[in-house]
Amino acid sequence: MERRSRIDALGASLLVSSALLLGLNQVLIKLVNAGLQPVFQVGLRSACAIIPVVGFALLAKRKLSVTDGSFWPGVICGLLFAAEFILLFQALEFTTVARASIMFYTMPFWLAVAAHYLIPGERLSRYKVFGLLLAICGIVLAFYDPSESVGEKVLLGDLMCLAGAFLWGGIPLMVRTTRLAKSTPEMQLVYMVGVSAVVVLPISPLFGELIRDLTPTLVAIFAVQVLFVVSTAFLTWFWLLKIYPAAKVASYSFLSPLFGVFFGWLILGEHITIWILLALAMVSVGIVFVNKEAD
């Protein structure tokens, strides 16, 4: 499919659906952390996702190749993927889903700034800058609470999420600026989950006991992560990166923390305030400006 210069109706619907799944993912990770050690969960999730991703690629007759010059960029992306999720999963041991979402979904900002210098045709216009800043302010506003007392462990979790966001931003840059761009989205995701599984599973015992209080419900939640978050949402995201501008695709990630707040309220009983509604309006307007072409 040919590349497109702006997000159309198809792209928007897929991006919103992916953002919904990724927002839900924050809650699912925190729940499964009660049954599986976080780093082990990262490696096991990647290992389990290999089967449906490769299976889909074979059924759909997608090209899977490591001899097209994509091997080393793919390995690097896999290492970024592994480190990003180790940081996020561990961070959710220390901080809340809400705070993790604020920090982790700063990724589009880092990506947009980097794309300005590294990807032709994706320079930051005044509209895009305004849109990104407005969306960031909206996310911050959604969780603003002057009465909240923040401990050292919470701050550590926040910093881990920020570091994870920076690493996440490196993945679409690698996909767009290296030979990995020639690979199918399925092959790109195979690199992510394959390298992650190989690297993370052997080191996971260093982080403590692998199995905690694992229940059938948590196993089912883990299966949802594998089938719908990794195998579906991530694959869709990589496919979208091949079709649409990277910064515009990433801008929709600002919806994920809002979905995270909603599912946090629905599943974890978090309280939604007027700040959340104001933030939603700011993020929505921000996305309009991010996708607005410079005059």
Whether 3 is in a domain gets the answer no
Q: How many CB atoms lie within 10 A of CB 281?
A: 12
Whether 1 is in a domain gets the answer no
Whether 295 is in a domain gets the answer no
Whether 213 is in a domain gets the answer yes
Query: What percentage of residues in the chain have a pLDDT greater than 70?
Result: 89
**For residues 292 and 181, which has the higher predicted lDDT (pLDDT)?**
181
Cα–Cα dist 69/183, whole Å: 9
Whether 228 is in a domain gets the answer yes
**What's the pTM?**
0.84
Q: For residue 145, what are the domain limits?
A: 9-290
Q: Read off the tokens for 285.
A: 């307007």
Cα–Cα dist 170/182, whole Å: 17
Whether 189 is in a domain gets the answer yes
How many domains does the chain fold into?
Answer: 1
Cα–Cα dist 226/223, whole Å: 5
| Residue partners of 160: CB distance under 8 A and separation at least 6 | 87, 88, 90, 91, 94
| pLDDT tier at 248, thresholds 50, 70, 90 | confident
| Residue partners of 265: CB distance under 8 A and separation at least 6 | 271, 272
| pLDDT tier at 122, thresholds 50, 70, 90 | confident
| Predicted local confidence at residue 198, as pLDDT | 97
Residue with tokens 């401990």: 151
Whether the per-residue pLDDT at 91 is higher than 50: the answer is yes
One-letter amino acid of 214: L
Whether 2 is in a domain gets the answer no
Q: Are 260 and 23 in contact (CB under 8 A)?
A: yes
| Predicted local confidence at residue 295, as pLDDT | 44
Whether 4 is in a domain gets the answer no
| Predicted local confidence at residue 146, as pLDDT | 55
Q: What is the mean pLDDT of the chain?
A: 85
